[in-house]
Amino acid sequence: MPALPPGQALSRLASVPVIRLATVSATGQPHVVVTTFAAGEGRIFTAVDHKPKTTRDLRRLQNIRENPRVALLADHYEEAWENLWWIRADGQAQILTDAADMAGPIQLLADRYWQYRENRPEGPVIAITVQRWSGWSWAEPVSIT
């Protein structure tokens, strides 16, 4: 069976409500968080939002400043294993702090999540440019190069 094209990989990724964002510190310490996201403008975006946090200088932001390489993971699980799949996007992250640069991504997030329409994220925004897609599906191979 043919590999899943990047457009279809992005479509599967966009079909889930949240993704896992993996970052790594300069010393190699991994860090994975579940996060909301939106895709558009050729990138994937996530933002620091209003949910309670101990600091606004989140570990993921610190890690991206030290090492901009990140991975995103989306998956689908159910007891009927023939419906299982996962998609991973490896890329370069950039931290956006300028209001004009954040406006479009925050609008994409507000379009996707009603909670952000009521209380827009203040940022910063993480913008990820995907460089490599990979994945797996029970029903069809999705190894993407």
What CATH number is given to the structural domain containing 107? 2.30.110.10
Per-residue model confidence (pLDDT) at position 46: 97
The predicted model scores a pTM of: 0.89
Per-residue model confidence (pLDDT) at position 41: 84
Residue 51 banded pLDDT, cuts 50, 70, 90:
confident
Distance CA 23, CA 71 (A): 7
In a domain, 145, yes or no: no
- State the average pLDDT for the chain: 89
In a domain, 76, yes or no: yes
Tell me the DSSP string of 80-95. Answer: SGGG-EEEEEEEEEEE
Strands 69-76 and 85-96, sheet pairing: antiparallel
Work out how many domains the chain is built from and give that number.
1
In a domain, 1, yes or no: no
Q: Determine the structural domain holding residue 37 and report its residue range.
A: 6-137
